[in-house]
Amino acid sequence: MSWRKDKDDGRAERGYHHGNLKEALLQAALDLITKKGPAGFTFADAARMAGVSPAAPYRHFRDRDELIASIAQRGFEQFEALLTQAWDDGRPDTVTAFERVGKAYLAFARQEPAFYSAMFESGLPADANPTLMAASERAFAIIRAAAERLAALAPPGMPRPPAMMMALHIWSMSHGVASLFGRGDAARRKLPMSPEDLLEAEVLIYLRGLGFPTDRRPGAAVSDDKPAGPWGKPK
Amino acid sequence: MSWRKDKDDGRAERGYHHGNLKEALLQAALDLITKKGPAGFTFADAARMAGVSPAAPYRHFRDRDELIASIAQRGFEQFEALLTQAWDDGRPDTVTAFERVGKAYLAFARQEPAFYSAMFESGLPADANPTLMAASERAFAIIRAAAERLAALAPPGMPRPPAMMMALHIWSMSHGVASLFGRGDAARRKLPMSPEDLLEAEVLIYLRGLGFPTDRRPGAAVSDDKPAGPWGKPK
DNA sequence: CGGCTCATGTAAAGACCGTTCACATGAGCT
DNA sequence: AGCTCATGTGAACGGTCTTTACATGAGCCG
């Protein structure tokens, strides 16, 4: 995965021009954010890692914030792709696919903590960046579309929940779990279950509160004879 | 609210010794974090605001992180007090009090954004600070205690949900809503409802998913004849 | 009251960072 | 071959964090 023209030995031989500095800086920034958090990340450090002078990055990014915004942008794009794939247009059935979206959300936060912090925890001025906002909107649109389909399936006899509200609820649950329990080298708090299971149970209970059948067997309905809880069977 | 000995005209006459520097620094830091976020906050700025030299703060805090940790600590204490008051030992009834705790959580995040960011978004190494961890644990214990009481009320015929899990769920919902939609000068995203209503609906739906009656009339049970949704009546 | 001590403040300095500016280089086009 | 302009360099400015040596004076002890 080297972009160098000839040798790929780090930063050794290189002409006056780097050739792919913008990409190299984004990659370096990602590495640094992964290691030291978005606050600890340093513009100068990224330049050093790419083997250029501290002033070089300014040819590609107006300032440090624009670099972070670029990373967030890219993050939202990957995020959208991942969610789209997880949703898979509601296959094989809406509830299963919906659950998968929740899991994908958490998986992204855990596997790409650098992207995730750039996207949600870097304190960027939201209004200052319309294209970033649009990217975030597109990612959220996946969740919203899934909620739309789910809402349409609301069991008769129940009031139909607003899809937008459902989407916001799911988002807040996922973000809450990801942000509180999802990252950190070790679990910063002892949990009785994995973040994945925690989120899955949360979403299932929520869906049940809306009247959806949450058994895994397709076609199963909400039964009234001591249904098993979504948090696993007591052993 | 002046701690100065005589004049309270900002930073004017003051002996060689400040007299209450630690307190003044904490207050200044709070103001600065409120204005510019935890990242924008500067140790030197706080010193300036207190009218002392940039080196003075080091007599009271090992470094910048320790100041932020102190603020977080204080935040957790106020947070705990607020949650305790909201819970009010489950009066007048458990579900109502539980709802109130959720609202109090959000209210704290909105009214004390500086504390909130110091507590949850400052990226402090969690393990490095046992007393901070303990303070956070005490605050969470309120939510957990409330969940415990609520779980004990689980309607017969339903499996009893683990209180710890409920507490974590409620926490993640509250934090998710607060962190995504709660702060920001303007709403950084157009919402169909206020964050308060959004969270209230989310918690009510969740509780209903656990089998709790969520009507406001005490004693009302989950009915099967077109119950009103917790998100407000369609007009 | 006189003097001692030590917590608390200051000044100066080093290392680092973000940012800008004048200048150097060479890739790509004509 | 020669020109041009995007891209990289070096030096510099102001700011921050932090340490070190020194100054001050509040509180105590006799």
Lowest mean pLDDT among A59-73, A218-232, B90-104: A218-232
Residue A3 approaches strand C within 7 Å at CB? no
Percent over 90 (pLDDT), chain B: 65
Residues B157, A20: Cα–Cα separation, whole Å: 64
Q: Is A192 found in the same domain as A120? A: yes
Which of B105, B116, B169, B214 best probes binding to A when mutated, by most A CB atoms within 10 angstroms? B169
Mean of the per-residue pLDDT values of chain B: 85
B229 occurs within a structural domain: no
CA distance A100 to A87: 7
Among the residue ranges A13-22, B36-45, B138-147, B196-205, the one predicted with the least confidence is A13-22
Instruction: Kindly tell me if the per-residue pLDDT of A8 is higher than 50.
Output: no
Q: In chain A, which residues from 42 to 61 place their CB closer than 7 Å to nucleic acid strand C?
A: 42-45, 54-55, 58
User: Do A187 and A120 have their domain in common?
Assistant: yes
A15 falls in which pLDDT band (50, 70, 90)?
confident
Picking from A162, A192, A204, the nearest residue to B162 by CB comes out as A192
Mutation choice for A interface testing from B165, B175, B197 by most A CBs within 10 A: B165
Largest pairwise CA distance in chain B: 75
Is the confidence at residue A1, as pLDDT, over 80? Answer: no
Domain count within chain B: 2
In a domain, B126, yes or no: yes
Quick one: A114 and A193 in the same domain?
Answer: yes
B17 vs B106: which has the higher pLDDT: B106
> What's the token pair of residue A28?
């370096």
Q: CB distance B180–A175 less than 8 Å?
A: yes
B121-126, Cβ contacts within 8 angstroms, sequence gap of 24 or more: B121/A121, B121/A123, B121/B38, B121/B179, B122/B38, B122/B68, B122/B72, B123/A37, B123/A38, B123/A39, B123/A40, B123/A121, B124/B65, B124/B68, B124/B69, B124/B72, B126/A184, B126/A188, B126/A189
- The mean pLDDT of B18-47, rounded to a whole number, is 93
Give the confidence band of B173 by pLDDT, cuts at 50, 70, 90: very high
pLDDT for A149-169, tens place per residue?
Answer: 999 988 887 788 999 999 999
Q: Which residue of A123, A191, A209 is in closest CB contact with B206?
A: A209
Phi/psi zone of residue A100: left (φ > 0), alpha (ψ -120 to 50 degrees), beta? alpha
* Per-residue confidence (pLDDT) for residue B219, from 0 to 100: 36
Q: What is the pLDDT of residue B182?
A: 83
Q: Chain A partners of B180 at a C-beta cutoff of 8 Å?
A: 120, 171-172, 175
Residue B158 pLDDT class (50, 70, 90 cuts): confident
pLDDT of the residue at B59 = 96
Q: What percent of chain A has pLDDT over 90?
A: 66
Residue A12 falls inside a structural domain: no
Q: Are residues B173 and B74 in the same domain?
A: yes
Q: For residue A38, which of A125, A136, A118 has the smallest C-alpha distance?
A: A118
pLDDT at A84 exceeding the cut of 80: yes
Closest nucleotide (CA of B56 to C1')?
A: C9
Question: The domain containing residue B49 runs over which residues?
Answer: 17-61
Q: How buried is B185 (Cβ within 10 angstroms: 0-12 exposed, 13-18 middle, 19+ buried)?
A: exposed
Percent of chain A with pLDDT over 70: 84
Q: List chain B residues with CB under 8 Å of A168.
A: 181, 191, 198
Q: For B159, which residue in chain A has the nearest alpha carbon?
A: A229
Same-domain pairing of A85 and A181: yes
Name every chain A residue with its beta carbon within 8 A of the beta carbon of B161.
205, 229, 231
Whether A90 and A120 share a structural domain: yes
Instruction: Give the separation between CA A112 and CA A75, rounded to whole angstroms.
Output: 9
Q: Is the CB of A66 under 7 A from strand C?
A: no
State mean pLDDT over B178-195.
Answer: 79
Can you tell me the distance from the alpha carbon of A142 to that of A33, in angstroms, rounded to the nearest whole number? 27
Tokens of B200: 């209230």
Mean pLDDT of chain A: 85
Chain B hits for A172, Cβ within 8 Å: 173, 176-177, 180-181, 198-199, 202
Residues A127 and A152 in one domain: yes
In a domain, A33, yes or no: yes
**For residue B51, what is the domain's CATH number?**
1.10.10
Whether residues A173 and B174 touch (CB distance < 8 A) is answered with no
Chains A, B: CB pairs < 8 Å: 144
pLDDT at A106 over 90: yes
Give yes or no for residue B118 having a pLDDT over 50. yes
Strand C proximal residues, A:73-132, Cβ < 7 Å: none
* For residues A104-109, average pLDDT: 96
**Alpha-carbon separation of residue A212 from A38, A62, A137, A173, A176 (angstroms):** 40, 49, 27, 18, 23
Do B100 and B88 form a contact (C-beta atoms < 8 A)?
yes
Contact A226 B191 (CB under 8 A): no
Among all strands, which nt has the closest C1' to A56 (CA)?
D8
Looking at the structure, do residues A131 and A84 belong to the same domain, yes or no? Answer: yes
Mean pLDDT of B51-77: 96
A217 φψ region: left (φ > 0), alpha (ψ -120 to 50), beta (else): beta
Closest nucleotide relative to residue B65's CA, C1' based = D17
* Residue where the block lists tokens 């993640």: B172
In a domain, A1, yes or no: no
pLDDT band at A228 (very low <50, low <70, confident <90, very high): low
Q: What is the pLDDT of residue A224?
A: 43
| Residue A141, domain CATH | 1.10.357.10
* A99 and A163 housed in the same domain: yes
Query: How close is the nearest chain A Cα to the Cα of B85, in Å?
Result: 24
Dihedral angle, C-alpha A187, A191, A192, A197, nearest 10 °: -80
Rounded mean pLDDT, A142-152: 95
Residues B143 and B104 in one domain: yes
- pLDDT given at position B217: 41
pLDDT at A17: 76
CB B208 within 8 A of CB A206: no
Give the pLDDT band (50/70/90) at residue A37: confident
Q: What is the pLDDT of residue A229?
A: 62
Domain assignment present for B220: no
Proximity of residue A20 CB to strand C below 7 A: no
Is B123 part of a structural domain of the chain?
yes
Yes or no: say if A96 and A88 are a contact pair by the CB < 8 Å rule: no
Q: Which of B87, B106, B107, B109 is nearest to B98 (CA)?
A: B87
Residue A191 inside a domain? The answer is: yes
Q: In chain A, what is the greatest distance between 2 CA atoms, to the nearest angstrom?
A: 75
Q: Which are the contacts of A169, defined by CB distance < 8 A and separation ≥ 6?
A: A206, B173, B198, B201, B202, B205
Q: For residues B112 and B30, give the distance between their C-alpha atoms in angstroms, rounded to a whole number.
A: 9
Q: Please report, rounded to whole angstroms, the spatial distance between the CA atom of protein residue A191 and the C1' atom of nucleotide D25.
A: 53
The pLDDT confidence band at residue A222, using thresholds 50, 70 and 90, is very low
Give the pLDDT confidence score for residue A185 in this predicted structure. 53
Phi-psi region of B19 (alpha: psi -120 to 50; beta: other; left: phi over 0): left
What mean pLDDT do residues A39-55 have?
95
B67, B122 Cβ separation under 8 angstroms? no
Give yes or no: residues B92 and B127 share one domain: yes
d(CA A121, CA B120): 10
Predicted confidence at residue B224, as pLDDT, reads 43
**A25: part of which helix (H) or strand (E)?**
helix A21-40
Same domain for A45 and A88: no
